[in-house]
């Protein structure tokens, strides 16, 4: 099995391997096999299209966690210029699971904050698999408040399995750190645009996700609990994760239908990891549109609009009005 491809992509992997083989043979022989290669490449595209047309929620969950999926720093390099990373919560530590700093997008200064996963084993550990501790959320909060002081719009990238469930995180107030971010973000007088680029894991994602515009990449997910976690509680078996993924409706498309997500950004064929540049360009374009739109709102209007958005996330029956 080719580790660069997920299980459901293996037919594509086999075809790609065949193409690669032909190329090698072609290099050494005089026979012109470029025609055959082109034919197989078309076939590979067709196969990818047909597989990706009908992905299950569970397959999308796997894509959202694909080891080659672009992470926050990959977008930072492509979407922004003049980035200076800023570190630390000024109280305890710098949490590498969240990267943040000031950058420009088409000449405009913004505050960028995002979860960061690692690629190599060493880097994964250093980034704690993208699971922030309280100091990560407090760094984010410090910089968001700074952004407000200097009228910088806030752009966040969400990609985390969740807030870190560890003894130290509990000791330093993981709950409070997340809760405070939710509260303060609701009143910040600058635009906040959140993009879910990979895994939107529960409160750990939301803690940098209260916003004026919520967009998701086509194959990203956003959920209250991981499919495995949900399955092990409600089905009493983590093997039921595919069922849980389906039931929770955690995909961008479904969440857009439900009215929680404002916009879905289409991914390149085969997923964002097949073409970082193309994906980044789409993200850049969407951010520019929103920065223009939200930038035209007066701060009071922005804050009251944000509250109305939040208040609208509700499914209840019964009379309106307080008492």
Positions that interact with another protein (CB under 8 A): 163-167, 169-176, 178-180, 182-187, 202-203, 206-207, 209-210, 222-225, 229-230, 233-236, 243-244, 247-250, 255, 258, 260, 306-307, 310-311, 313-319, 321-323
Question: Helices marked H in 29-118 — which ranges?
Answer: 34-53, 57-64, 72-79
Distance CA 98, CA 129 (A): 10
Measured from the CB atom, is 44 or 223 closer to another protein?
Answer: 223
Q: Which residues contact 29 (CB under 8 A, 6 or more apart)?
A: none
Measured from the CB atom, is 259 or 266 closer to another protein?
Answer: 259
Distance CA 267, CA 275 (A): 9
Measured from the CB atom, is 98 or 250 closer to another protein?
Answer: 250
Distance CA 41, CA 35 (A): 10
Measured between alpha carbons, how far apart are the two ends of the chain, in Å? 61
**Least distance (Å) from another protein to the CB of residue 6?**
24
Measured from the CB atom, is 150 or 307 closer to another protein?
Answer: 307
**Least distance (Å) from another protein to the CB of residue 136?**
13
Distance CA 196, CA 110 (A): 18
Distance CA 128, CA 115 (A): 10
Distance CA 64, CA 219 (A): 6
**Least distance (Å) from another protein to the CB of residue 89?**
15
**Least distance (Å) from another protein to the CB of residue 137?**
10
Measured from the CB atom, is 185 or 294 closer to another protein?
Answer: 185
CA distances from 141 to 120, 194, 254, 267 (A): 28, 15, 30, 30
Q: Which residues contact 182 (CB under 8 A, 6 or more apart)?
A: 206, 207, 210
Measured from the CB atom, is 240 or 273 closer to another protein?
Answer: 240
DSSP string, 186-244: TT-SS-EEEEEEEEEEHHHHHTTT--SEEEEETT-EEESS-HHHHIIIIIS-GGGHHHH
Contact status, residue 147 vs residue 193, Cβ threshold 8 Å: no
Measured from the CB atom, is 19 or 163 closer to another protein?
Answer: 163
**Least distance (Å) from another protein to the CB of residue 233?**
7
Query: β-strands 221-223, 192-201: how paired?
Result: parallel
**Least distance (Å) from another protein to the CB of residue 3?**
25
**Least distance (Å) from another protein to the CB of residue 282?**
23
**Least distance (Å) from another protein to the CB of residue 237?**
10
Measured from the CB atom, is 93 or 224 closer to another protein?
Answer: 224
Residue 298 structure tokens: 């007066």
């Amino acid at each position: 099995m080719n580790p660069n491809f997920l299980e459901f992509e293996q037919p594509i992997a086999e075809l790609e391997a065949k193409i690669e083989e032909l190329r090698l043979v072609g290099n050494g022989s005089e026979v012109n096999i470029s025609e055959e290669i082109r034919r197989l490449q078309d076939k590979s595209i067709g196969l990818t299209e047909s597989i990706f047309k009908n992905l299950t929620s569970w397959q999308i969950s796997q894509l959202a966690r694909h080891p080659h999926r672009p992470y926050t720093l990959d977008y930072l390099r492509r979407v922004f210029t003049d980035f200076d990373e800023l570190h630390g919560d000024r109280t305890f530590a710098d949490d590498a699971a969240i990267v943040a700093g000031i950058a420009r997008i088409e000449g405009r200064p913004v505050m960028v904050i995002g979860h960061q996963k690692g690629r190599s084993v060493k880097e994964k550990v250093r980034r704690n698999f993208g699971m922030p501790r309280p100091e990560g959320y407090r760094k984010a909060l410090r910089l968001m408040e700074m952004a407000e002081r200097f009228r910088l719009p806030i752009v966040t990238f969400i990609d985390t399995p969740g807030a870190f469930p560890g003894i130290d995180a509990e000791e330093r107030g993981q709950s409070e750190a997340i809760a405070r971010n939710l509260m303060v973000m609701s009143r910040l007088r600058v635009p906040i645009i959140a993009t879910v680029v990979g895994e939107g894991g529960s409160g750990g994602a939301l803690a940098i996700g209260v916003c004026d515009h919520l967009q998701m990449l086509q194959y990203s997910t956003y959920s209250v609990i991981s499919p495995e976690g949900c399955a092990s509680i409600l089905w009493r078996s983590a093997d039921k994760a595919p069922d849980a993924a389906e039931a929770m409706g955690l995909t961008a498309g479904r969440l857009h239908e439900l009215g929680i997500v404002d916009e879905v950004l289409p991914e390149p064929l085969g997923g964002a990891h097949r073409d970082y540049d193309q994906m980044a360009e789409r993200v850049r374009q969407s951010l520019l549109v929103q920065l223009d739109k939200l930038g035209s709102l007066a701060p009071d209007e922005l804050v009251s609009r944000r509250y109305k958005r939040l208040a609208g996330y509700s499914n209840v029956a019964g009379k309106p009005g307080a008492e």
